[in-house]
Amino acid sequence: MVAAETVARTGTVLIKRPTIDSAPATSGGRPETADPKTTSCWPVNPISTRAKAPCSTVLTVVCCERASSVTARVVAAGI
């Protein structure tokens, strides 16, 4: 028996805009000045001075060895 090599890839997505609108879609012009709505329950860290891009893991792919037996495929098809 030969051990199959496992390789995993992880994908990320960068978010370009907030998920909460700052003004309703039915607004008839410029909205009034208001405090921004937060999208997180965690407070902002005042110590950090570096800009960080938000990212989320959305997909993990694991590659495995493909079956190559022609005989098994023919038997499974009932031929």
Nearest CA among 58, 60, 54, 65 for reference residue 1: 65
Rounded Cα distance between 62 and 18, Å, is 31
First to last CA, the chain: 28
Q: Summarize pLDDT for 51-73 with one digit per residue, the tens.
A: 777 766 667 777 777 766 555 55
Residue written as tokens 């030969």? Answer: 2
Q: Phi and psi dihedrals of 10, rounded to 5?
A: -115, 130
Q: Summarize pLDDT for 16-50 with one digit per residue, the tens.
A: 665 655 555 565 666 677 776 666 666 665 666 67
